[in-house]
């Protein structure tokens, strides 16, 4: 009987070690992924990068096609070095796409401080919710379906606003994005802690997208309420 309990305890310890390893590797790769993101954003700003600015709908659809292509490739190769390479390539692409809103922010006299505030706010949200998910050990997987529906609704609203260009709807979408993807941070970190996600490449992709969207949403809100023109 003692041997049985020892084996069970050993198995539980092995699972815990694996979950901690996945979480640690996720954080390390997440930190690394920020490097190509920053490089992509800086390159985009220097180039004055604009992704088919004259055709917003085509631009949006092409962006989704490229992004989903990257994500498909990352998931397909998540157990090899190619998956990591694709992830870093994807984050460079996302940095390029980020440069457009950064250019808009830098058009304000307080643009630098607004970007810093959005980055600081995103970091605070991430570390708070990641800590809650890690320390509480509570299972937040039940949020998944609700969050997915919310994300689809936001996506549809964003497509609709390409045509209508309603400022109030833009603000509503930004608020929803911050709320939904903040909750996704809790959900995705919880999945790692609970053992629902065992691949750190997939985990990094999910958490990266959460952080990226929270940052963009926060920056849009900060620009709307505190942006100062010269």
Domain layout of the chain by residue ranges: 2-35+103-226
Cα–Cα distance between 222 and 230 in angstroms, integer?
A: 17
- Which of these, 110, 107, 217, lies nearest to 172 by C-alpha position? 217
- pLDDT single digits (tens) 32-63: 999 999 999 999 999 888 766 667 788 888 99
Work out the mean pLDDT of the chain and round it to a whole number. 89
B/e letters for 66-89, b = 16+ CB within 10 Å, e = fewer, are eeeebbebbeebbeeeebbebbbe
Cα–Cα distance between 151 and 145 in angstroms, integer?
A: 10
Between helix 200-226 and helix 2-47 the angle, nearest 10°, is: 50
**Residue with token string 């980055």:** 119
- Which of these, 63, 185, 169, 62, lies nearest to 122 by C-alpha position? 185
Cα–Cα distance between 156 and 212 in angstroms, integer?
A: 19
For the entire predicted model, the pTM comes to 0.90
- Which of these, 181, 203, 178, lies nearest to 190 by C-alpha position? 203
Cα–Cα distance between 177 and 172 in angstroms, integer?
A: 9
Q: Minimum mean pLDDT among 4-13, 74-83, 90-99: which range? A: 4-13
- pLDDT single digits (tens) 90-101: 999 999 999 999
Cα–Cα distance between 21 and 9 in angstroms, integer?
A: 18
- pLDDT single digits (tens) 172-230: 999 999 999 999 999 999 999 888 888 999 999 999 999 999 999 999 999 999 888 76
CB distance 98 to 37 below 8 Å: yes
């Amino acid at each position: 009987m003692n041997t049985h309990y020892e084996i069970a305890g050993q198995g539980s310890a092995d699972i815990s070690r694996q979950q901690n390893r996945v979480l640690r590797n996720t954080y390390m790769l997440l930190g690394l992924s920020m490097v190509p993101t920053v490089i992509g954003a800086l390159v985009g700003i220097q180039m004055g990068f604009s992704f088919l600015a004259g055709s917003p709908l085509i631009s949006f659809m092409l962006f989704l096609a490229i992004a989903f292509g990257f994500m498909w490739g990352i998931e397909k190769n998540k157990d090899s070095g190619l998956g990591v390479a694709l992830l870093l390539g994807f984050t460079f692409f996302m940095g390029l796409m980020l440069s457009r809103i950064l250019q808009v922010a830098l058009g304000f006299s307080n643009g630098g401080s607004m970007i810093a505030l959005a980055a600081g706010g995103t970091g605070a949200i991430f570390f708070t919710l990641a800590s809650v998910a890690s320390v509480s050990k509570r299972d937040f997987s039940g949020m998944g379906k609700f969050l997915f529906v919310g994300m689809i609704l936001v996506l549809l609203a964003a497509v609709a606003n390409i045509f209508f260009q309603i400022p109030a709807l833009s603000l509503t979408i930004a608020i929803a994005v911050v709320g939904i993807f903040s909750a996704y941070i809790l959900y995705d970190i919880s999945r790692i802690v609970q053992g629902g996600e065992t691949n750190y490449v997939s985990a990094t992709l999910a958490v990266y997208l959460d952080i990226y969207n929270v940052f963009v949403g926060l920056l849009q809100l900060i620009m709307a309420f505190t942006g100062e023109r010269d």
